[in-house]
Chains A and B, each alone.
Chain A
Amino acid sequence: MSKKNDYDPSEIQKRMGMKAKNRISNTVIYVVLVIMSIVWLIPFFCIVFQSFRVESTWMAGYVFPQKWGFDNYINLAKTDFWKWYTNTFIIAVVVAALQTVIVLCMSYTLSRFRFKIRKGLMKFMLVLGLFPGMLTMIILYRVLKDLGMTQANAVPGLILVYIASSGMGYYVSKGFFDTVPKTLDEAARIDGATRAQVLWKIILPMAKPIVIYTILTAFMGPWGDFVFARYISMNTSAGMNVAVGLQSWLSLDQINNRYTMFCAGGVVVAIPVTILFLCLQKYYVEGVTGGAVKG
């Protein structure tokens, strides 16, 4: 039957029609995608070009510099920029490490253990998660101020704020753990492993994408945070993170001297994140979709 169809002229025509149709829709999709990526990339390239402009420091009305140079990058060292950068880096690394551990332990517990308040706890955290975090800003500031963790000491304060609620981000990794058959845990426990060994030796190696995903999201949160960081550092340069610090250069009295340096700072901020994503991109996609299968 199928052989006959291969030589059937109407069948061939039909197939060619399908091919043409596919080609058209593919072309449309690619054109749209190309336009979208150009739109997205324009601001980024503008910033990169501006950061190499040395003939003036204010906001110029053109994109391509007339004179190129690294002055803006070199001048960053004469400001508090590297202090802010270090602050942010410390916060992000500590938060990424602690938050990952907390989230993974939380997810494993909720996925594997059955205890009385398990369901209630999950519902409670779901509802709690629906409130915007900003609601807690004022009270958090009071608490941190009493603990002496604001302004110049904002770094430990921010770390505390970021990791305090990290257990609530268990959804994706719990969804992933749920897809790992329970008999693997049971087999390992019979083989002599403790619960902790089951998690470290059996579950986590299988859950690599989700671990990477957790680390990435935990790192990205504090790395790009602005609102909390600004509120808690309260105009004290020593306690600022890089986003707050750079933003202070855009105030009316500074923008004319600092605009190109602001762009250079922005590029430097983007570097570690870009590297992280390039290296771990494969796992990131796997992690997001892997957990979603049975979320």
Chain B
Amino acid sequence: MATVKLTNVVKIYDNNVTAVHDFNLDIADKEFVVFVGPSGCGKSTTLRMIAGLEEISGGTVEIDGEVVNDLQPKDRHIAMVFQNYALYPHMTVYDNMAFPLRIKKMPEDEIYERVTHAAEILGITDYLMRKPRALSGGQRQRVAIGRAMVRDSKVFLMDEPLSNLDAKLRNQMRAEIILLRQRLDTTFIYVTHDQTEAMTLGDRIVIMKDGYIMQVGSPEEVFDRPGNLFVAEFIGAPKMNTIKAKLVRGDGEYHVAACGAVLKVGGEKGQMLRDRNVPTQDIILGVRPEHMVLAAEDDANAIDCTLEVNEMMGSEYHLHVNTADGNKLIVRIPTITLSPAQRESLVPGARLNVTCEGKVMHFFDTESEVNILYPCQAPIK
């Protein structure tokens, strides 16, 4: 249980590649923070610097108020779970979990107590005497988590712990990590490239790209108020539709001209634009697929499209449509809102009218790609 503070942390590799630029983050005690981003964004490097597995090129890392830059991993009181489990293949599950305690020269009966207790929580009691190679992927990852659990570590680090598991198991383990977190009640730092994991696990999400922090915020914040186009497209699946458009200030009302249609920006977003007195300008309009709706055929304020691909997902349809001016959009429609006649009409080539309300629109600057209403502080290349 501890706070973690990163101040101006920089990582420059020997070949002069800068992997992490000026990373600043305060992690509160017992907080669950997720680093998320595409591969090569520096999220793992940052985690490894906190763990002490990578040298810190600049800035400071503090754990519980103590600067740990020059401490060996063993002296940082952290536990870590690796993507490839990193179980010691020549030891049984019990010995694997007992290893950190034996290094600390803990008495054997206390080790026994701790290991069996952790094994019980993780449901691996039956496998304690097996070697790791006789376990499935999910069981191995449980052992790895168990090995990290038995110690009283200040911070729990996880480096893509679910990436090696198949999709079904991943969902199951994700739920178990949420339970584990409630049980352990310690500080967690979790690295993933999967935005679903980030959204479901994190108290706060740190979205990274090319070594820069793009945005830090709660799952709601980064989803509802993405600071820039990158965050907007990264969070959410399928990804947000983006259209080159024009924001037009009329008398007292804002409109967006996109794909040959004019969409009214009403409600809260319209009010915010008015309050900030945003001038008429070219923008990138962002609308999430689930926020687009089918409009009536005679709706003048709708975008005219042709259906290209129709993906029936069960509970919803993913409609890939082309607009007249060549934009490709995805529209997510809950199955339950469609009549059987409507469903049958959704064949490739069908004409559709789609539209969206003002409150679900996101406006990004064409140059800086920053959200016009919720600009993020992060430096953007």
Contact = CB atoms under 8 A, between A and B. Distances in A.
Contact of B73 (A114, A189, A201, A205): A189
Contact of B100 (A184, A191, A194, A205): A191
7 contacts: A181-B84, A186-B51, A186-B86, A190-B73, A190-B80, A192-B100, A202-B88
Contacts of B90: 205-206
Contacts of B103: 191-193, 197
Interface in B63-108: 72-74, 78-80, 82, 84, 86, 88-90, 99-100, 103-104
Contacts of B14: 114
A188 interface: yes
Nearest to A205: B90
A13 interface: no
Interface string B98-141: 01100110000000000000000000000000000000000000
Nearest to B78: A190
Given A181-B84, A183-B82, A183-B84, A189 B74 contact: yes
A116 to B, nearest CB: 9
B53 interface: yes
Interface string A197-225: 10001100110000000000000000000
Contacts of B73: 186, 189-190
A190 B74 contact: yes
Given A193-B74, A193-B103, A197-B103, A188 B80 contact: no
Contacts of B89: 206
B84 A190 contact: no
Interface of A: 114, 181, 183-184, 186-194, 197, 201-202, 205-206
Nearest to B74: A192
A54 to B, nearest CB: 53
B86 A189 contact: no
Given A193-B74, A193-B103, A197-B103, A188 B88 contact: yes
Given A181-B84, A202-B88, A206-B90, A188 B99 contact: yes
Contacts, number: 56
Size category, B interface: 20 to 34
Contacts of B88: 184, 187-188, 202, 206
A219 to B, nearest CB: 25
Contact of B53 (A189, A194, A197, A206): A189
Interface of chain A, helix or strand or loop or mixed? helix
B147 interface: yes
B74 A186 contact: no
Contacts of B86: 181, 183-184, 186-187
Contacts of B79: 190
A186 B147 CA distance: 14
A192 B104 contact: yes
A193 B99 CA distance: 9
Given A189-B72, A190-B80, A191-B147, 4 more contacts: A183-B82, A187-B86, A189-B52, A189-B74
Contacts of A193: 74, 103
B123 to A, nearest CB: 22
B251 to A, nearest CB: 63
A191 B72 contact: no
Contacts of B72: 189, 194
Contacts of A183: 82, 84, 86
B83 to A, nearest CB: 8
A194 B84 contact: no
B3 to A, nearest CB: 19
A206 B90 CA distance: 6
Contacts of A202: 88
Contacts of B99: 188, 191, 201
Contacts of A192: 74, 100, 103-104, 151
A51 to B, nearest CB: 44
A194 B74 contact: yes
A164 B194 CA distance: 53
A8 B142 CA distance: 52
A65 to B, nearest CB: 51
Contacts of B147: 187, 191
A191 B151 CA distance: 9
Nearest to A189: B73
A190 B51 contact: yes
Contacts of A184: 86, 88
A194 B99 CA distance: 13
